[in-house]
């Protein structure tokens, strides 16, 4: 009988420590995800803290999450309707700003997470060396905070869209279908970047350039249908391109998403996440030796 002197002891965990495997399970198909699920409370704790900390000490605090996108939206409106109205047909200016903002919100969840990823593990040597810590949770905690900001941004976008273009089309009900692929793909890339960042310090500096390059390879400041047909298949290899385009389609064009494309996005994102998680765990064994 186990005598317990505190509330809610977890079921007995058995850690098997060998040169080949991590104490919380092997690689394979299921164990990495089971270990990630086991660390859900850690992710939640770290994620909530990230949200708090990003605005700690400022007057508006967490309100910044709301004020920031509103200000940005104001700036874009000013730039593209007053200062730089060329290239956009006069009747589409408001719509253009909304589409731009939509792309920025979706891309922002990815970009913010991935930009923090190279240092996510590297800047926490205590968690690597001196604690029994599910390191996979670190990039995911950044994703949590970025996704929270993204969600608030998206609410602002929805409100602005209602204000400018009237009630949302019925196809907007498809929006939740885009969330899992976005989160999974982002997590997958973040894990890979975080693991690499431990070994290759240069990544922390160069990631900004890479993300900026990806920014222009994603239809944010332009629409997918504006790209010459010969180059379009190349852009479609970028899973973010499909996601941004899909979100715009269901929210602004009012047509349902391409089911094949959406299914492919789910599949690719799941694959990316799995590969990323397994790669991270494989690389994790060497972290303590490097840091």
Partner 1 sequence: MSSEPAVLVARGLGKCYRTYARPVDRLKQALFGRRRRWFREHWALRDIDLDLRRGEALGIIGRNGSGKSTLLQVLAGTLPPSAGRAEVRGRVGGLLELGSGFNPEFTGRENARLQGVLLGFEPGAVEAKMAEIEAFAEIGGFVDEPVKTYSSGMFVRLAFAVQAVLPPEVLIVDEALSVGDAAFQIKCMTRMRQLLDQGMTMILASHDMAAVRSLCGSAIWLDGGVVRARGCPRETTASYVRWLFGADEAPPAAPPPAAPRAAGVARAALPPLVCPPGPGRWGSGEARVVGMRLSAVGRPPAPHGTIAHGDRLRLEVEVRAERDVPAEPFSLAFSLRNVRGLDLITYATREGGVRLPALAAGQTLRATFEVDNILPAGEYGLVLAVEQVFGDERRYLDFVEHAMLVRVTSTVRTFSIVAPPVACAVSAPAPAEAVAR
- Binding window for partner 1 (CB under 8 A); candidates: 7-15, 176-184, 254-262, 270-278: 7-15
The yes or no reply on residue 37 touching partner 1 (CB under 8 A) is: no
- Binding window for partner 1 (CB under 8 A); candidates: 80-88, 120-128, 158-166, 218-226: 120-128
Calpha distance 205→201 (Å, rounded): 8
The yes or no reply on residue 222 touching partner 1 (CB under 8 A) is: no
Of 251, 234, 212, which is closest to residue 107 (Cα–Cα)? Answer: 212
CB hemisphere CA count around 120 (13 angstroms):
35
Backbone angles phi, psi at 231, to 5 degrees: -90, -15
In the complex, the smallest distance separating the C-beta of residue 51 from partner 1, rounded to whole angstroms, is 12
Of 135, 137, 132, 136, which is closest to residue 17 (Cα–Cα)? Answer: 132
Calpha distance 36→19 (Å, rounded): 21
The yes or no reply on residue 155 touching partner 1 (CB under 8 A) is: no
Q: Could you tell me if 256 and 168 are in contact, meaning their C-beta atoms sit under 8 angstroms apart?
A: no
The yes or no reply on residue 34 touching partner 1 (CB under 8 A) is: no
Query: If binding means CB under 8 A, how many residues of this protein chain bind partner 1?
Result: 47
- Quick one: tokens of 2? 């186990």
Distance from the first to the final alpha carbon of the chain: 41
Q: Which of 31, 45, 222, 227 binds partner 1 (CB under 8 A)?
A: 45
CB closer to partner 1 out of 14 and 229? 14
User: Any alpha helices (H) in 121-201, and if so which ranges?
Assistant: 125-129, 137-165, 179-199
- Binding window for partner 1 (CB under 8 A); candidates: 38-46, 87-95, 213-221, 245-253: 38-46
CB closer to partner 1 out of 5 and 230? 5
In the complex, the smallest distance separating the C-beta of residue 207 from partner 1, rounded to whole angstroms, is 17
CB closer to partner 1 out of 45 and 258? 45
Draw the binding track, 252-291, toward partner 1 (x: CB under 8 A; -: no contact): -------------------------------x-xx-xxx-
DSSP string, 85-107: -TTS-GGGHHHHHHHHHHHHHHH
Q: Could you tell me if 178 and 246 are in contact, meaning their C-beta atoms sit under 8 angstroms apart?
A: yes
The yes or no reply on residue 24 touching partner 1 (CB under 8 A) is: yes
Q: Which residues contact 68 (CB under 8 A, 6 or more apart)?
A: 149, 153
Draw the binding track, 126-145, toward partner 1 (x: CB under 8 A; -: no contact): xxxxxxxxx-----------
Q: How far is residue 106 from each of residues 59, 77, 233, measured CA to CA in Å?
A: 27, 18, 21
Residue carrying the six token digits 């602002």? 156
Q: Which of 37, 41, 57, 82 binds partner 1 (CB under 8 A)?
A: 41
Q: Which of 13, 91, 226, 259 binds partner 1 (CB under 8 A)?
A: 13
Which residues of this chain interact with partner 1, rule CB under 8 A?
Answer: 1-3, 5-10, 12-19, 22-24, 38, 41-42, 44-46, 49, 53, 124, 126-134, 199-201, 283, 285-286, 288-290
């Amino acid at each position: 009988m186990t005598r317990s002197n505190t509330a809610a002891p977890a079921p007995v965990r058995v850690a098997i420590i060998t040169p080949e495997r991590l104490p919380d399970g092997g690689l394979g198909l299921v164990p990495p995800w089971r270990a990630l699920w086991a660390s859900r409370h850690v992710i939640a704790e770290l994620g909530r803290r990230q949200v708090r900390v990003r605005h700690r000490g400022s007057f508006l605090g967490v309100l910044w999450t709301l004020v920031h996108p509103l200000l940005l939206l104001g700036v874009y409106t000013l730039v593209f309707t007053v200062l730089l109205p060329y290239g956009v047909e006069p009747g589409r200016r408001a719509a253009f700003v909304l589409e731009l903002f939509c792309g920025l919100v979706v891309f922002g969840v990815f970009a913010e997470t991935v930009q923090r990823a190279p240092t996510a593990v590297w800047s926490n040597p205590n968690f690597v060396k001196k604690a029994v810590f599910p390191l996979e949770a670190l990039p995911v905690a950044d994703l949590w905070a970025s996704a929270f900001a993204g969600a608030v941004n998206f609410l602002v976008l929805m409100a602005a869209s209602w204000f400018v273009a009237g009630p949302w089309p019925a196809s907007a009900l498809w929006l939740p279908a885009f969330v899992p692929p976005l989160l999974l793909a982002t997590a997958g890339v973040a894990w890979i970047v975080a693991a690499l960042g431990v070994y290759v310090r240069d990544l922390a500096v160069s990631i900004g350039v890479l993300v900026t390059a990806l920014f222009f390879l994603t239809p944010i400041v332009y629409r997918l249908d504006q790209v010459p047909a010969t180059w379009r298949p190349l852009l479609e290899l970028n899973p973010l391109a499909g996601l941004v385009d899909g979100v715009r389609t269901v929210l602004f064009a009012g047509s349902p998403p391409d089911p094949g494309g959406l299914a492919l996005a789910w599949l690719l994102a799941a694959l990316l996440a799995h590969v990323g998680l397994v790669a991270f765990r494989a690389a994790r064994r060497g972290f303590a030796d490097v840091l």
